[in-house]
Structure 1
Amino acid sequence: MKKIVSLALALVLVLSLTACGGKDGGKSADPNLGKYIGTEFSSDGDSWYSLADLYDGECYIELKSDGKGVFCLGGEATDIKWSLESDGALTLKRDGLESNGLLQDGCIMLDDLWGNEVYTLYEKEDADSSPEKTGDTLLDWWNGDWYGWWKMTGCSGYYEDMEGDWWDICGNIDIGADKTGVVRLWDEDYSRDSLMAKVNVTLSSAGTGEHGTMTSEDGQFTDIAIEHADWIVDPGLADRDDLICIDGYYENGDDEFYYEIYLRPWGTYWDDADEDSRPKSYDDWYLPLIKAGKSMPDAIGADAPASSGDTKSTAPSGNSNAPSGTGLVSEEAVQKGYVWMNEVNNNIFDSTYEDLVDYFGVEGEFVKEEYSDHMKRNQRYYKWVSKDDPSHYVYVNFAEEEPGVYKVSAFNTSGFSGKEAIEKYLDTVKAEAAEVNKAATANTKMKDFSVTVTQFAHDDVAVKITTKIPESGWSYDEGKKCLVENDDPTAFGAGAIRFEVRANVEDFDYYKDSFENYQDIDDRVIGGITFKGRTYKRIGYDWIEYVAQIDDGRALSIGLTDIDCVPGTMPDVILSGMTIK
């Protein structure tokens, strides 16, 4: 308490104060203007105390137009001048004294106070960084960013040495008014743009508590498929408020483990949990971020405040023989490259370092090489950098899954908005990719393909489909009845051509009310039969679907998921060569 009182007195003594108040004579469109309410202070950046516990009067910083402002502590204020740099660096000045800090995400963090080593945090009045509310209590609880940890037990095969290991994890839940949506998860070796898991879910109000139950429908966890009801998530069963647990079983050949994922909404304090029940980066990374009022970064360890203790090296390894170049390309090439990786190349995680060199036209700038204890493999990190602005780049992690072969395992943007890049360049990148696909298709060696697809639980209702597919690069998933644009039919994110047989074409409209962005497209003749065309989005996937009544008792759906069918490209050639019996 003596330390707190002494610090409070020091804060008062360094100010020449007048009565709080004052009016701003004009309004400005500058979103940074306004009042920031003081919430906490610290003498060392680690132990924080509430300003409200010490002062009855107001504590705030008010930023006005023309670089004018007011600093107020305990009901006493002084006029100040302020300036803001493009990177968020904020400077406050009064009577020859200066205080420096950071303005970001609706918060001001001062590193010092008029020359005294005192950290103070201010949050913008009426600022709300939480997800937009829908008015639906159930959706508003589930939707948004989540943070926590996950662990592996019962490990065997390749994962035997990871028994009991655990890692931090971030995630986002996005469920629509129709109670269907997507869960996206990434741990320390992944990112928001390079997911560990992407699972389509449905939400029900039924459950043991007020938050209902979330159930998986389909999707992917690392390199295995998630099916209906593999995940059944009921927060009412958790032993703490605002906590969900996702558990499941991983099995791929001899490799097995049981996993548990514990998540709480981003911004939640875990004070009710013991130290061994909190994420590993809770104190060093998470707490500094939420105290600074920052939203969840796209990768664990990213955007860590200087006082967080994050000391991850970005210097190249001195003993690495990894290939390296300048990584310099145009600003447009950087942004289009990200769009190609994130939206267009469905096999990006099968792409090698050499594939990206071919795409960008230059060797990447080598950053570092390290061994991941988590994944038990070597990893290399590269950047492709904008010539126009070196702070803009695509950062790519390559993993050595086979000796000497490094494939993309994660990637992210820096300095520019991936969302804005997609909005600007997606159509262009798709068109460029289609031209490359057409050129490659013209020279691809093909082989015969044949499959008989039956209606679920009715083996007598069957359709035989024959066509030609590439000798390599495509495979068939018997369980999901689809041709996959990858040698591995279970490849995460790969495009696919899916077949489904029913008795009547109307049966394919069972879920039509939940289709998003539904549009009718031109009919297509396939195997001499005219199919009706349509596009839509359902449970997180973009679909092009062709449906037709084959005869009185058989109807066929040919659905393309996350794949375009531009004339002359391989999907178009496969469909054009089909015969249906």
Structure 2
Amino acid sequence: MILIFSLTACGGKGGGASDDPNLGKYIGEEYSSDGSDWYSIDDVLEGESYIELKDGGKGVFCLGGDATDIKWTLENGTLKMTRDSLESNGTLKDGMITLTDLWGNDTVTITFQKEGDSEAAATGDALLDWWNGDWYGWWKMSGCSGGYEDMEGEWWDVCGSIDIGADKTGTVKLWDEDYSKDDPMAEASVTLSTSGTGEHGTLTSESGYFTDVDLEHADWIIDPGLEDYEDLIRIDGWYESGDDEFYYEIYLRPWGTAWDDMEEDSWPALYSSWYVPLIEAGKSMPDAVGADMPADSGNAGTAAGTSAPDGTGIVTEEQVQKGYVWMNEVNNNIFDTTYEEIADYFGVEGKFVKEEYSDHMKRNQRYYKWISKDNENHFIYVNFAEKEPNVFTVSAYNTSGFSGTEAIEKYLDTVKAEAAEANKASVASEGTKDFSATVTQFAHDDVLVKITTKIPKSGWSYDEGKKCLVENDDPTAFGAGSIRFEVRAKVEDFDYYKKDFENYQDIADRKIGGITFHGRTYKHIGYDWIEYVAQIDDGRALSIGLRKLDCVPGTAPDVILSSMTIK
């Protein structure tokens, strides 16, 4: 962006007294060069950026520390600013200026927020003004059963936005570290009532969804008056899908609220390392948890027993986007992946941001970036936790400056193919070992099937309780791919949950252990499945289900199925 200014010093005084509510200083917030990719203006330009509207149609425009006197008019929400023979156009609404034509450059868009205003413009309705805006906190799971049994007590940071209109109806969006504002974990249509135990009334869900289950009227009843702390809301509910259940609790406070009135063990996990630096830097809430960390936040240190590796972190734009797809969609063991393995994948040491000891999590943490050489504002931000001495594994990761959804659409097939080739090479070089297991029908120990096969010499283990071969040395590893074996009396018994299967498709039959199995794919409880089912004899049917695994010829899953015998 090349701008030519008549320069004066930034920071002039305001105009004379006036009742015009539009007068005042508007601080630069966000910048886009194409109207689709947005960045914090502080990450794009150094120095102050603001518009000051003074009485009498006079004002100051300051961008990146360079200021010029302007004249301005406002008519029906359309703002026009002039200097010399140049003109800028935009809108002024609800305390925000959006410039869409900057001195003749109509590809740049910049937003400015009125000084002292929150992102959600005040409505004059105290009830709406308290609820509307951005929220931050954490959520946890308890009472877990079925496929979520191993996630008992897990918790994550969460962001949210609440938008309620004058008719007291609106929307609540929530997203944790695995989602984003554009792809939320939960979205609910809500109604706001003045009745409740406190001054802020009660918010009630009417419809919507939480992860992959529907929300209905009064599934959420949110009454801030019931909480022990000011400016705190609590959302709770039961997740139920077949045999899979858990109870969830979500605690949120308005973005910018300090949590130091609570004990540290009640703070969100990223409160000190991410949230506080953003608040201190005057940043608005990002669209993804962990994103837009100020470059100079925190203190680089040596909290761990060894010094932190450090490099440029510079890779190509394609590597950045494919790296995110690999981490988010293909690597089923991402939270067991070490810093060294991530660096090997990218082919370069990450850019070290900081290191700290988290009192909240009781562990050392390191923060790194892998950055696009084509656009330094496009990067992956990765948090590593020291769960074992001097071994740092991924604990969280986020994109910044590019769309993860678009990256997945563009690169998923390519990244899967690359991962399959790497898997084939690993299996071929490492070799296999013998494996056997006996699987019985639930509550019928006399109805059993013995399975023998070959598995890779490392990187796989068996979960006896769940009858699963797990693509991880730890059979309890969360999120790992697996091959599940199940015995029932008839093939039809495996269709008990078929009504809940999403994207169901029949695929080619496969001969396994000399028996022809019928193949099908579907999505169930948030996971993608490939399932093969066959009637072994009159009293035994076997299901072989691949969860979060592809069965590309030559890869470990293919070798396991091809080597299998069934008795």
1:165-213 superposed Cα distances (whole Å, 9 cap, x missing partner): x99831689xxxxxxxxx9985xxxx3369xxx999xxxxxxxx98699
Q: 2:551 aligns with which of 565, 572, 581?
A: 565
Alpha-carbon separation, structure 1, partners of 2:363 and 2:444: 46
- Partner of residue 128, structure 2: none
- Partner of residue 299, structure 1: 289
Shift of 1:69: 4.9
Please state if 1:12 is matched with 2:23.
no
Structure 1 counterpart of 2:113, one-letter code? M
SS of the residue 2:353 aligns to: strand
Please state if 1:494 is matched with 2:480.
yes
- Partner of residue 370, structure 2: 384
**CA contact 1:325–1:363 (8 Å) conserved in 2:** yes
- Partner of residue 399, structure 2: 413
Q: 2:137 aligns with which of 123, 144, 148?
A: 148
Please state if 1:313 is matched with 2:297.
yes
Please state if 1:109 is matched with 2:109.
no
Structure 2 counterpart of 1:325, one-letter code? G
Q: 1:245 aligns with which of 222, 225, 236?
A: 236
Shift of 1:445: 3.3
- Partner of residue 161, structure 1: none
- Partner of residue 524, structure 2: 538
**CA contact 2:355–2:364 (8 Å) conserved in 1:** yes
Q: For the structure 1 residues 87 and 371, does the alpha-carbon distance in structure 2 shift closer, same or farther, using more than 3 Å as the test?
A: farther
Please state if 1:83 is matched with 2:71.
no
**CA contact 1:328–1:384 (8 Å) conserved in 2:** yes
Q: 2:78 aligns with which of 47, 62, 85?
A: 62
Alpha-carbon separation, structure 1, partners of 2:419 and 2:106: 35
- Partner of residue 560, structure 2: 574
Q: For the structure 1 residues 356 and 121, does the alpha-carbon distance in structure 2 shift closer, same or farther, using more than 3 Å as the test?
A: closer
Shift of 1:545: 0.4
Alpha-carbon separation, structure 2, partners of 1:469 and 1:369: 39
Shift of 1:13: 6.6
With 410-419 and 488-497 compared, the bigger mean Cα shift is at 410-419
Which consecutive unaligned segments of at least 5 residues does structure 1 have?
Answer: 1-6, 17-28, 33-57, 75-79, 91-102, 112-117, 126-144, 154-165, 174-182, 201-208, 219-232, 249-258, 305-309
The number of equivalent residue pairs is 420
| Superposition pairs of residues 154-193 of structure 1, within 5 angstroms | 169-170=157-158, 186=176, 191-192=177-178
- Partner of residue 403, structure 1: 389
Q: For the structure 1 residues 260 and 446, does the alpha-carbon distance in structure 2 shift closer, same or farther, using more than 3 Å as the test?
A: same
Q: For the structure 1 residues 169 and 333, does the alpha-carbon distance in structure 2 shift closer, same or farther, using more than 3 Å as the test?
A: closer
- Partner of residue 332, structure 2: 346
**CA contact 2:139–2:158 (8 Å) conserved in 1:** no
| Superposition pairs of residues 103-502 of structure 1, within 5 angstroms | 103=111, 109-111=113-115, 119=117, 147-149=136-138, 169-170=157-158, 186=176, 191-192=177-178, 235=220, 243-245=234-236, 261-263=249-251, 297-299=287-289, 302=291, 313=297, 316-317=300-301, 321-502=307-488
**CA contact 1:168–1:279 (8 Å) conserved in 2:** no
Q: For the structure 1 residues 400 and 512, does the alpha-carbon distance in structure 2 shift closer, same or farther, using more than 3 Å as the test?
A: same
**CA contact 1:193–1:342 (8 Å) conserved in 2:** no
SS of the residue 1:469 aligns to: strand
SS of the residue 2:416 aligns to: helix
Shift of 1:541: 0.5
Q: For the structure 1 residues 314 and 414, does the alpha-carbon distance in structure 2 shift closer, same or farther, using more than 3 Å as the test?
A: farther
- Structure 1 length as normaliser, TM-score? 0.60
1:483-531 superposed Cα distances (whole Å, 9 cap, x missing partner): 0000111101100000111111111112212211111111100000000
- Structure 2 length as normaliser, TM-score? 0.61
Q: For the structure 1 residues 239 and 327, does the alpha-carbon distance in structure 2 shift closer, same or farther, using more than 3 Å as the test?
A: closer
**CA contact 1:193–1:412 (8 Å) conserved in 2:** no
Q: For the structure 1 residues 214 and 496, does the alpha-carbon distance in structure 2 shift closer, same or farther, using more than 3 Å as the test?
A: farther
Q: For the structure 1 residues 169 and 406, does the alpha-carbon distance in structure 2 shift closer, same or farther, using more than 3 Å as the test?
A: closer
Structure 2 counterpart of 1:83, one-letter code? L
Shift of 1:471: 2.7
**CA contact 2:366–2:384 (8 Å) conserved in 1:** yes
- Partner of residue 520, structure 1: 506
Structure 2 counterpart of 1:527, one-letter code? G
Alpha-carbon separation, structure 2, partners of 1:435 and 1:73: 54
Alpha-carbon separation, structure 1, partners of 2:100 and 2:185: 50
Alpha-carbon separation, structure 2, partners of 1:72 and 1:440: 59
SS of the residue 2:430 aligns to: coil
SS of the residue 1:443 aligns to: helix
SS of the residue 1:556 aligns to: strand
Report percent identity of matched pairs: 57
Which consecutive unaligned segments of at least 5 residues does structure 2 have?
Answer: 1-13, 24-33, 38-73, 82-86, 124-133, 143-153, 162-172, 187-202, 213-217, 227-232, 240-246
Alpha-carbon separation, structure 2, partners of 1:486 and 1:498: 14
Q: For the structure 1 residues 414 and 433, does the alpha-carbon distance in structure 2 shift closer, same or farther, using more than 3 Å as the test?
A: same
| Superposition pairs of residues 29-40 of structure 1, within 5 angstroms | none
SS of the residue 1:394 aligns to: strand
Structure 2 counterpart of 1:110, one-letter code? K
**CA contact 1:315–1:368 (8 Å) conserved in 2:** yes
**CA contact 2:378–2:401 (8 Å) conserved in 1:** yes
1:77-133 superposed Cα distances (whole Å, 9 cap, x missing partner): xxx99639999873xxxxxxxxxxxx2xxxx5134xxxxxx65867699xxxxxxxx
SS of the residue 1:543 aligns to: strand
Alpha-carbon separation, structure 1, partners of 2:19 and 2:160: 43
- Partner of residue 9, structure 2: none
1:132-183 superposed Cα distances (whole Å, 9 cap, x missing partner): xxxxxxxxxxxxx985346999xxxxxxxxxxxx99831689xxxxxxxxx9
